[in-house]
């Protein structure tokens, strides 16, 4: 396998081995970060119904290969979404799969709580996406239902559920949610346990592949290789640009330096810096893999001096570090604002 680079802003630094290979899953990389982190504590990569858990800082902890359920169902189901989340003062590793939702402790030692969604409507409803707003985890399901979970008395509990129009994905930040359907996108403000509509964007057959929110910015990677940057929750398009020649599979964004990472089916991953005067993204670094696409990418620290990426069906995670002392001045980029805290995601 050979790699092609267009400049030397970053350089390959080292590789971390997985227990088994990474599944072809959109955004198949979770990093455990803290608000003042210098380096991500550990990472997780999914393989079908199992999770590769790899410590990055405390190497005395061992790597793990964790099934999403035990007993006779051990390893059954397919992982669709995973992330470390903080609810109240407790941090959990949350996994959405074809058999429901599982809450693990922070080191993936034990399942703290699981829920299969059957008791809400009499049959399994596939969870599609999740986000933490305040002290509550909101999980969207395939039946247009949003289920709420809270951590109370050292225990996770399902507290309520809301019915909205059917959607394909859910994300959220601050006190707002966004749902994405085949023909429209809707944003809501959560107030007193109710969802109050904020904005609706009509777009026929909205073909998205990955969707993430950073502060007041909504990033949508499309099957066409385009990426949309929108204001959130107002859903106003700021930039829409062709970034890749294939489906975008993973993104990450640093509000500190306003650098965007993208990985796509065209075998490239790229780093981008916003060009305010042109209202476009300028590619500042890229790497092409010769045999398989990157399915996960993310910064491992706040100052963007290191990031890691994983390829589909690969047994390794590659780490890249910054090679220049140049700092990017974000003071003039007023339409993408800095954030004060970094979420556990």
Could you please report the per-residue DSSP string of 279-302? TEEEEEEEEEESSS-EEEEEESST
The rounded percent of the chain whose pLDDT value lies above 90 is: 55
Alpha helices in 250-292 (DSSP H): none
- 318-332 pLDDT, tens digit per residue, is 999 998 644 444 444
- 192-201 pLDDT, tens digit per residue, is 888 999 999 9
Tell me if residue 196 falls in helix, strand or coil.
strand
Task: Answer whether residue 337 shows pLDDT above 70.
Answer: no
Predicted confidence at residue 231, as pLDDT, reads: 94
218, 229 in Cβ contact below 8 A? yes
Walk across the sheet containing 30-32 and list its strands.
30-32, 42-47, 50-55, 64-67
Q: Which is more confident, 207 or 40?
A: 40
CA distance 32 to 81: 15
- What 274-280 contacts at long range (C-beta under 8 Å, 24+ apart), as own/partner pairs, is 274/239, 274/333, 274/336, 276/332, 276/333, 276/334, 276/335, 279/238, 279/239, 280/239, 280/241
Q: Which is more confident, 290 or 245?
A: 245
Mean pLDDT, residues 55-70 taken together:
82
C-alpha torsion sign, points 29, 299, 246, 333:
positive
C-alpha torsion sign, points 123, 124, 129, 134:
positive
- 201-217 pLDDT, tens digit per residue, is 987 656 788 999 998 89
Which of 76, 92, 72 is CA-nearest to residue 84?
92
Predicted confidence at residue 335, as pLDDT, reads: 41
- 68-93 pLDDT, tens digit per residue, is 876 566 667 899 999 999 988 889 99
Question: 208-214 and 194-202 as β-strands: parallel, antiparallel, unpaired?
Answer: unpaired
Mean pLDDT, residues 7-14 taken together:
84
């Amino acid at each position: 396998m050979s790699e092609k680079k267009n400049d030397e802003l970053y350089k390959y630094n080292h590789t971390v081995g997985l227990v088994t290979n990474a599944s072809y899953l959109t955004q198949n990389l979770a990093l455990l970060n803290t608000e003042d982190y210098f380096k991500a504590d550990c990472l997780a990569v999914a393989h079908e119904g199992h999770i590769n858990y790899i410590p990055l800082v405390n190497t005395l902890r061992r790597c793990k290969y964790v099934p999403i359920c035990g007993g006779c169902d051990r390893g059954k189901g397919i992982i669709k979404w995973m992330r470390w989340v903080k609810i109240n003062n407790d941090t959990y590793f949350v996994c959405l799969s074809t058999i429901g939702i599982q809450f693990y402790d922070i080191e993936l030692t034990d399942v703290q709580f699981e829920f299969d969604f059957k008791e809400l409507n009499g049959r399994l409803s596939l969870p599609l996406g999740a986000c933490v707003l305040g002290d509550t985890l909101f999980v969207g399901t395939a039946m247009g239902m949003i289920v709420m979970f809270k951590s109370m008395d050292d225990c996770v509990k399902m507290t309520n559920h809301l019915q909205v129009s059917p959607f394909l994905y859910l994300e959220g930040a601050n006190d707002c949610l966004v749902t994405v359907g085949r023909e429209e996108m809707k944003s809501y403000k959560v107030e007193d346990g109710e969802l109050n509509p904020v904005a609706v964007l009509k777009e026929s057959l909205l073909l998205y592949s990955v969707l993430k929110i950073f502060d007041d910015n909504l990033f949508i990677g499309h099957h066409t290789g385009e990426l949309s940057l929108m204001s959130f929750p107002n859903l106003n398009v700021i930039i829409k640009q062709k970034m890749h020649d294939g489906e975008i599979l993973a993104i990450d964004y640093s509000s500190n330096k306003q650098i965007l990472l993208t990985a796509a089916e065209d075998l490239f991953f790229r780093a981008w810096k916003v060009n305010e005067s042109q209202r476009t993204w300028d590619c500042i670094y890229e790497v092409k893999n010769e045999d398989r696409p990157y399915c996960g990418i993310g910064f491992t620290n706040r100052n963007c001096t290191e990031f890691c990426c994983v390829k589909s069906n690969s047994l390794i995670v590659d780490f890249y570090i910054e090679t220049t002392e140049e700092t990017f001045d974000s003071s003039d980029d007023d339409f993408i604002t800095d954030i004060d805290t970094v979420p556990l995601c």
